[in-house]
Structure 1
Amino acid sequence: MSVRYTGDVSRSMSVRYTGDTDETMLIGAPGLRDASGGIVEFGSDGVKIASEPYDQERNNDYFGYALTSGKFLGDGANYIALGGPRGNSGTGQVKIVKLVNSSHYEVQEIVNGEEPGSYFGSVLCAVDVDNKNRDVLVVGAPFYGNLTQINIDVNNINEDEGKVYVYGYDSTSSMFKELQQLSGSNTKNSRFGSAICSPGDINNDGALDLVIGAPGSDSVVMLKSSPTISMEVSLKTSLVNPVNVIQDDDERFAIQVCFKYTGDKSSPPDVIVNYTVFIDNSMTQQGIQERILAEDGSYTVAGDKKVIRGYEIPQCSTNYTVVVQKYRVKDIVTPVTFVVKYAIKHQSGTGLNCSESPCPVISAFDAKRQVPDADFFIEKIKFKKDCGPDNICETDMKLNVDPKYNYGRPDTLVRGPLAGFHLDVNVTNLREPSYGTVLKVDAPYYISYLKVKTYSLPAVRCSPRNINETKSILECELSDLEQPFVTSRVDRFTIYFEARHTPVVNTFDVNINLETKSVDINMSNNKRVLQMKVESSADIAFEGFGNPELFVTSKTKVDKVTHRFDFTNNGPSILESHMGSHSIFTVKYPSVVIDQKSILKVSELNFVVPVETLYFDCGSSIIKTIVPGSSRLNSTRTYQLKQRDEAIENGLNYNCESGGCKMVECAISPLGVKAFVTVKLSYDMDVDILAKVKRQSSKVESLSVSSVATASMPPNIGLTTPLSHSAFVSRNRIILSRLRRKSQYARHR
């Protein structure tokens, strides 16, 4: 046959020669009809361009990107498989179709990809693996990356690792369905499934083999085919009232492994199945001793069973007695898990003759299972619970939480060394018993659990669980997996928390969840989210003193005049820096210079600060010197301050209330509770200062010398809501040491 066609088939991506008597050639046309895709068929009766009826929603699905044909549906007829790697909203899709006329095809079956972007359906291959004149469809998804695991384990994602799916007709269910999933090396970027073909029977075992490429790993995988048989596996117990439920008085019971073998006449008439039963397997995985064991003290039983094809009634193994270890049953909620592993045993004396044909294997694949190609079966048996005839505990737990704060604030957590809060908790069960009832408190890492106080029995037990650097969880057990939280029970308890390490934040959340292993029919009652408002608040004492208070100018020589300012943080919050802001202390002090001579000047300016002070800075114009031996019981540190390169200029700046005075400004942090800062100023003053000033200004009748100190706190400190007003100055400003000389007397405040 020779074909020449010069028309546009919309960027052909795949070709299939059917080899039928009509010698038909199929060409995929993924760009047809706005890239919804279709088929171009060359045959003895000419050229056909076929697609589905136009639907805008299928634009860019690319059907025909991959194409093959085969006997897929068990009726002996040939069908066409079209791959659309961008179909089904991006997960990819494959359609089994049949041409009905020269322009349309009819869809018979559809299979969908499981992951967007995997390019499921970009590679297709049809192969008769068991020589039964019936093809399976092998579908490649080379860009599959296991992204469905992203919410479980991000480390389990292998981008573009690739995956291959096998679909075929199941004669038992008369359905076209997924039979198997194949994975390569699970290596990132290997793109397993980029090419798939059947080169024939490579190893001469009578079955066609499959070759799969993985270009990203420079590897080709060859899969050898073996015939498969269908085997239903079940576990039967002697627990009958009700079925598979362990009663309180059950000390032992029997188990059997049962098999039902189906297949056509080409299948062996009988097989021997080797099996192993793992008893109470879920407990073993948790590192807990099993609640049930075999009569001989082991945790497994094993054996062989000859199974004959075609029996309607399952064929069961011998009885095995298992014992309930009552003293180990501390959990009646988690079912007892029996895991049955099984495989065909190849030996002489059975219906198998592996020298003449490949030995069959059991087709254990079930796409609906968590492990689709598992070679094991799981049976779960429950314990009897006090939850009605259905043995299902439908509970309705109700949670109430009332927060209370230290320092007497009704709705705010005040930061400080004694900061904390407690939760008054009330839990009620309105319906059937609740097993494994746990209260979980999720709080930031800086919140620490102190204790729990219980007002009802049994006592509540709480244990902290630090999760990471930003989160901590407290778990309080209200009932275990053996003794439930019974109907109408009410638990009242208080949980105490310490919060002294709370950083400067406006709010933080505390999430409280009540969890149960029973079935809670109203989960809305089980959760509370508390938004905790946070404030910093301080009771500030700010006072000033002058010395001496009074002297006679004509008779007293004044060597030194001192001013002193005392600042105390009475708490409860620490005054600490926030976003670069510190507590700022500003001191304005007077000076009088006449004819370039200082009549009034500061001889010493000292700051006394706590030794815990981490930051003390007065700017580049100030020279800072630590005064040795000035510490009070090693609790303070004294700094002497001097203006750098201070110029002497004439001026009568003796009243700092009016401005014009010299100034020093120092930033300090932190200032803990009960921490204090003292500012001391010592002045040298001429005894004739009043007369000399009057000669400069005839309007001066009296002289008033004053210094001013101002304290401003970081913006996060709630000074507008102090806890005590006894010593608090609303403007944080104190005017000190009015030195007055009236005629022969002067008063210094």
Structure 2
Amino acid sequence: MNLKLRCGLFFAYLSFQSSQVNGYSFNVEDVIVISNDFVKNTYFSYSLLLQVGDGVSLIVGAPKNVANPDAGGDVYNCAIKEDSSFCTQYPFGRSLNSTVPNGNFLAMSMDGDSHQHGPVVICAPRTRSPDTKPMSYFTRGYCLYMKNSSLIYENPAVIAPTNAISLGADLSRDLAGKLYYNLAFAMAGFDVFFASPERIILGSPGVKKFSGAIMSYSVYENKIIGLFPKRAMRSSDEDTYFGYSTIMAHFIPQEAWYVAGAPRANDLKGKVTIFSQDINASEESRVVASFEGEEPGAYFGSTLLAVDVSNDQIVDLLIGAPTAAGKTWDEGSVYFYKGTSAKSFLRGRKLTGLAKIGGRFGSAMAAVGDFDLDGFNDVAIAAPYEDDGAGAVYIYRGSTEGLTNHFSQRISPSDFHMDVVNVKGFGMGLSKGNDIDRNGHNDIAIGAYKSDQAFILKSFSIIDYQAQLYPDIASISNETDSFKLNFCILYTERSAQINRNQMEFQIVIDLDYRSVVDTVSRTVTASSKVRTCTEFHVELKKIMNISPFTSVLSIETSTKGVIAHGEKTLNSIVPYSHGCGDDNICNTFLTLQLKASSNTLVLGLNKEISLDVKVQNDGEPAYQCSVKLHGSDELLLRNAKDCTKNDDHYTCPFNEYMMLVGSIQKTFIFDVLEITPDVAHLDFKGEVACLGVNDPTSKTETELQIPIVLHSVPYIIGKSVPESAELSLKSHSENVEVLHQFSLEKHGPSPLRIDVDLFIPVDQYNGINIFNVTSIHGATDNIGIDCMPSAAKEILTLQVPQDLPIAVNRTFLISCGSDYGCIRYSCKGEFLYQTAELAIFEIRTLVDMDSLALKYKSFLTKKDIIAYVPVAHQATESGGVAAWGVFLFFAHSPAPVPLWVFLLGPIIASLLLVLISFGLYKCHFFERNYKAKLEQEKEQQTLIVSDSDTQSQSIDDDIVLRNNDFANM
């Protein structure tokens, strides 16, 4: 069925001037808008795929169905024309599993080839499998695969990976025999990555009670060829949503690795894991690197993007945390990890955009390619709920340092044509960059799913130009009535696909007050790669002043859709004739010297650096001198109001009128911006220029290099948990697991490169390892550190310190000396930046207690303690520092009872009994004289009772008499 949507194309051709653009950007005045006006609230544009070939197609996903909430979502193929567009609905949408409560969310995730007529995969993670029993509502999920996206009415292939028996049933049992849901709620296709026409990566966060998994699906074999993880469900992984996001990238040229996010792992702080495709390796060894979030509930890892933005042939990683609170709530953030090698990354750099309340920056990310053709890939990051739900997209340009928190453009719907109103959710749908107008610069599609709209933004064409402004005379005098200013410009196109015949430049010159007119302007038409010149006639007033005649020229391009890159202002200074001989030409001999305030820069300590610039002239007077200062990107000139900032240098005036023979010196202060520890030095380059003719043998250019040094003092603390164990030399003992933990910290202002060697003593008994290392783990700032073992045992020359907490005369030492040797684990990470920052290394060792007791039984006759001493060593320029983790084994052996004890024991016991009995006899213990006393006490008690009865009768008689007397009264 064809459903034509109204596709609004808004073209607002405004004169765009380079001075209005902050960096290179997408054209917000020439936007193609595609809106679904037939059915609202379908989440139209929630997912987007921009394809270019002999035409332009935009594949649009609309996962929600308002007309029938229990039906599936829809997918559209929108053909984009220059003057019109129309969308056709794929017929397979609502026919799939129409009885799923709240819909199957078809096209919630979508990916495919960027070429028109190429493959596309569309997933419905909430889809019920056909064999599910009624009312069960298991959401296994599956995807649809189209080999040619242009064949709208061709039935797609169904990818139902969770129907494979090899993956397990809906229900499984854990090791304790307890039932849990295995594939019943897999939600396969919650995220999808199109690796190639034959390989698709599916995120399935609902597998194994929402522990999650990643599936690598072969289209050709129609089966899962890789699953991670395969292990049985662990309670610690439950509800972590591993596979919520997934991508694949070539971190090394010969192999692509998987990346998966688990936004509820790590105590709800989120975690991202990079792992290899080696299905024969153990799951632990497949893990290449891991990244951990720092804020609970931030959903760290819910979005991922891998792209080389620094053009160093090493893939960099971006991890989204869209619900990070920020200073308010749900501002969102993205962590940029610059790759330094296949497995190593610099410390995460946080990107936040404008950090607007509730914006959820990082909800979607896309690689837009090198759209400005500067040699670095660029990225787009969405904050779809900024500005009360309208949304925005931020463009970040790549560079040698990767990405910083300074975006080059913020695209908001409010920047578009006035007819586009009530845009909501802008940025949740975000396509990869693609060149739809074939100008060599990539364009992007952005979806606003809450208002059912999609927008296609074209990038500007970029040219580079060089311009000059110079007078036809060397100087002026009182007799000068007029002179000419010459302007020349030469431009080239960055894109080889553009052969623009001509460009128009608007030239405005502000003249000196001694000119008859204040301002002259002109439109200069130039051709590509052709130097074009024009001249301006300047008439002078009769005003006495020996100051130079100054003119300032401004350049703007009036060609629409083009950004011009070059110096925006040019200065022309004509000196007043003075002291330069009869020819009125000043022959100068200039020398430039640069001197820094320090020979080195201590990273983290020095926040500024002073540069002394000295200009020496040993020729005729030099007029209106200026110095061009080129500095590293990490430097910012302070108080640069007198200097002109160009693309890569500052131009600073050096004398107001003229400089006679001699020298002038100025000091410039540069603020040191953020410098990564891998930067080895700061570079300065200076160039002096004055009016006149300079001697070619003079040194007008010079360079200065300031080494960057790292000043930090590391220290390591080691401990063992538990600290000791009892070693039985007679009976069987259970094996003991020991955790050796080493904490690396640093003092000093500079970052400390993590270069730790862990030395584990090796010992055997009858070929059996006594100390077995079960795991080694290192981490800092939520980034894992790989520890690689040595191939053979090594001897450590470090002396064991005397202050170890052991009794030397009682202790047998197992260390890394010549008697044993060690296995060395080399742990190389990035850097510790802050003083309070820690790098933690944990070694888990399982000790065979029986083998230990058997080997050292004969040695423990004089000593009763065994000390096992692993070592951690951090390398430094001066050698290094070390720490020892001590674990003590206290030998325990019950002493035998001597034979004489058994022989003399009964005799001694008998004698002791006789002595006790004799003592009791002497104390009259056995005399029974208590009977007479008891009989005497009994007789006394009888007498007391008799007297009591007599007295009671007397009292009764007295009462009777008293009563009689009372009655007679």
* TM bracket (short chain): 0.3 to 0.5
Tell me which protein shows more strand as a share of its residues.
1
Tell me which protein shows more helix as a share of its residues.
2
TM-score, normalised with respect to structure 1:
0.35
TM-score, normalised with respect to structure 2:
0.28
